[in-house]
Each structure stands twice: as structure tokens, then as C-alpha cells.
Amino acid sequence: MAERARVAIFISGRGSNMAALIYAAKHEECPFEVVLVASNDPEARGIALARAEGIDTFVQSHKGHERAAFDEIMEHAARDAGADYIVLAGYMRILSEAFVSRWKGRMLNIHPSLLPKYPGLDTYARAIEAGDSLSGCTVHLVTGELDSGPILGQTEVAILPDDTPDRLASRILIAEHQLYPRVLADYVSRELDPDWLVQKVGELALELPETHARTSHGAPGWRVGTEKSGKFFAYVSIHHHGEETVALLVKTSGPDEMAALIEAEPDLYYKPAYYGASGWIAVRLDTGTVDWDHIAGWLRKSWSAVAPKKISGLIAVAEEF
């Protein structure tokens, strides 16, 4: 199994969703591990539980700190713990935009309503008062706007005729505890799915001028130029020639650059079978934590290396990226 995604959980109180995530991560096939539980409230009950489970904790009151400065303190703790993802679980803070944008696509939240209905507080009472027959919970990516990022998963929970907000809350909580670990597991695993990786590389490759997709000996590839005479600038190699890896193949300037890259980062780069001889390097995509800006940079560089002059003038490519 690939390395497990490293998750930092931010809480402010009870921490029952945190507990559900910790217990889910005990299963040996769970694709994430909880590397840190952090709280802005020294009294948060979840902290004692996390400690008892042997998980590193970080506690820092937000009082007396500017919002952005406090976010940086929490973020620092997450980075120190080597977190790939930040998972908010009852974390009662509005987050600064800069913090949110630094974790774009890597920060999740759970909310006790069927978003986009009832963002914010008092979701149970609002659903009951509105006469809704259904409520539920939502896991979504965190964006700059409160409770409104892309939805990753939802569970519907029926509202009973005599429901009170508390009774409804306790049933929604049961649904939350099942939903969050499952959605998080699926989300962190998406980057291990070759189809998802090919789609993602394709999106980036086709953003470059005059490009199209074309398979080559069964491998997904992308070319620059016309359909008739275009040249390949990228391939995705999926367990090619018995290799265990899924990797992006892109063109280097030659054997020296290739050797230097492989020596500097042997876990990321390798010389692919056959293609390696003509200057193609393999950049691993099966790490679970791909740096997509880095991949986009490689695609641009490779595109420039093979594009005919009249097209390659269309974009300036930085030497370093």
C-alpha cells in the first residue's frame, strides 16, 4: 500500500467527529493516519481523548491573537506534524483567506445540514422551523466563503414530526461519524487512482496551446501541433513494462539533467524503460501527495522542448519552476 495520507484534525470542543476519524484510521487499510489534533480551546474535551489514543496534540488559545496570525500558528503546527491535509471537525473559527488558499483542495470540513441549505449556525432548528422533512450532513472542501466549498459527500437524515433540534442533532451526529471517515478516505485515495491521475494530467496538458490527447502504444499521451503532425510532450506510464509505478513522462534536456534530477530526488524521479534512452524522465504520480504546480511546470517545460518554434513562442517558460 502507498503511504497513508497524513491528516491534522482541528477541533474546538467535544471532538466526536475527531474520534470517529481516529478510530477509522486504526483499520489497517485506512488510507489516512491522524498525525495531529490541534485546538484553539485549551478546554476542548477532544484533546484528552486524542492524547489517550497516543496522538500528538497542539493547544493554543486564539485569545489575544489577530486572526491571520493565529491561523499561522495553527498551520505551523500542522506543517510541523507533516500534515498533507487539514480536517476541520467542529473547529469554531472563521479562517483567514490566505490560510484557506494555502490549503486549497487539502482542507475539509463537516457541516450539519444538507448544504447549500443552512450554512452557519442553528441548522437543526432552522430545518425544523422550515418544515423540512429531510436534513443531514455534508463534507465539503473549505473555500473562502463559509460552508460553501465543493461538496464531497452528504448523508440525508429524516426529520421526525416531533423532532426537537437536540434530537435531530444527535441523529445527524451518527450520520456524521459514518460520513466523514468514508469521504476523507475516498478523497485522499483519489490521487492513487490511475484514471483520476490521467484525467488531472490531461486537464493540465490541454491548457497548453495547440495540444491534443493521443494514446501511444496504449499509454495516454498528449501532443503539441496539428492532429496530423503533432509531437508528444507527455505520457502517463501506468505500471509500464512491469514497473510498479504510475508516472508522468516528460522530456528533459538530456542525460545530464536526468541524472542530476534522479540523484537529487530518487523517490520522485527515475529513468523509465525504453523512453529513458531518449531523454524522457519519469516523475512519480503515485505518491498520494502530488505537487500539481510542479507537474504543470514540467508539462510546460516539456511542451516547450518539443513544440515547433512558431508555437513555442506562445508561452514563456521559466528555467526554474
Residue ranges in 89-108 that form contacts with ligand GRF under rule CB under 6 A: 89-90
Is residue 111 part of the annotated active site? The answer reads yes
Count of residues that interact with ligand GRF, criterion CB under 6 A: 14
CB of 100 to ligand GRF, least distance (A): 16
Residue closer to ligand GRF, measured from CB, 9 or 81: 9
Task: By CB under 6 A, tell whether 13 contacts ligand GRF.
Answer: yes
Query: Which residues ranging from 145 to 174 are in contact with ligand GRF (CB under 6 A)?
Result: 173
Q: What is the DSSP letter of 62?
A: -
Residue of 62, 76, 111, 239 with catalytic role = 111
Binding of residue 288 to ligand GRF (CB under 6 A): no
Strands 269-270 and 280-284: antiparallel
Closest to 214 in 3D by CA, of 192, 231, 238? 231
Of the candidates 254, 214, 256, the one whose C-alpha atom is nearest the C-alpha of residue 235 is 214
Buried b (16+ CB within 10 A) or exposed e, 124-150: bebbbeeebeebbbbbbbbbeeebebe
Interstrand relation of 134-141 and 107-111 (parallel, antiparallel or unpaired): antiparallel
Question: How many whole angstroms separate alpha carbon 270 and alpha carbon 262?
Answer: 6
Q: Out of 9, 16, 168, 208, which residue is the one contacting ligand GRF (CB under 6 A)?
A: 16
Give residue number: closest CB to ligand GRF: 90
Window 174 to 213, contacts with ligand GRF (CB under 6 A): 176
Which residue, 33 or 147, is less far from ligand GRF as judged by CB?
Answer: 147
Candidate residues 4, 15, 152, 275; the one interacting with ligand GRF per rule CB under 6 A:
15
Map residues 42-81 to x or -, x wherever contact with ligand GRF holds by CB under 6 A.
----------------------------------------
The DSSP bridge pattern shows strands 85-88 and 107-111 to be parallel
Distance CA 299, CA 233 (A): 7
Query: In 172-203, which positions are buried (b, 16+ CB within 10 angstroms) versus exposed (e)?
Result: bbebbbebbbebbbebbbebbeeeebbebbbe
Active-site amino acid positions: 111
- Residues in the site for ligand GRF, rule: CB under 6 A? 11, 13-18, 89-90, 110-112, 173, 176
